[in-house]
Amino acid sequence: MNRTQIYCSLVQQLSNLRGAPYSLDIPTIELGLDNAENAVQPAIYIAPMKEKSSNVRGLPNKWTLLVEVYVYVKQSGSKTGVENILPLLDAIDTVTSPQVNNRGPGSFANDLGLPNIVTHCAIAGEIEIFGGYLGGQTIARVPFEILTVG
């Protein structure tokens, strides 16, 4: 398993928000939170958080990678940060939704374009939105789960 390849594939998939039909102006989409405070916004950061292994004796480990995607947005004009972040969350949900794949009839999965490495990638859990009390700054934390092939 190549963790860097997996995380960079998620960055690439989220970069599709810049193209049609979304055409969102997102200057920063990157792995890690190192530049979060200084970035031009809106900005999206992918932060690996935990990894869980499951194994069966004699077989390679299967990994569950727990990733948090952070979305930073500021208020603009008469729109609050929360009003600005909600369409971004909708777009992230859509662009990372499972797609028809070649794993058999009626098979849907988001394998990040890595069918021999990733079996599934999706939003998993509660999205937290922090806004309205951070001045003009709003942040959303979107938890993702990535399952790998054993």
Element (H, E) at 81: helix 81-95
Give the DSSP letter of residue 80: -
Strand ranges, E, within the chain: 28-31, 43-54, 62-74, 99-100, 108-109, 118-123, 128-130, 137-148
Per-residue pLDDT, 46: 92
8 Å CB contact between 74 and 41: yes
Average pLDDT, the chain: 85
Name, in order, each residue with C-beta under 8 angstroms of 41's C-beta and a sequence gap of 6 or more. Answer: 27, 28, 72, 73, 74
Instruction: Give the position of tokens 């949900």.
Output: 93
Per-residue pLDDT, 102: 56
Out of 33-42, 61-70, 107-116, which region has the weakest mean confidence (pLDDT)?
33-42
Is the overall model pTM greater than 0.75, yes or no?
Answer: yes
Per-residue pLDDT, 5: 93
3-state helix, strand, coil in the chain (%, to 5): 20, 35, 40
Domains, the chain: 3-148 (3.30.2000.30)
Q: Read off the amino acid at residue 80.
A: T
Tell me the mean pLDDT in the region 37-50.
86
pLDDT tens per residue across span 47-106: 999 999 998 888 888 999 999 999 999 888 888 888 889 999 999 998 888 765 555 555
Per-residue pLDDT, 121: 92
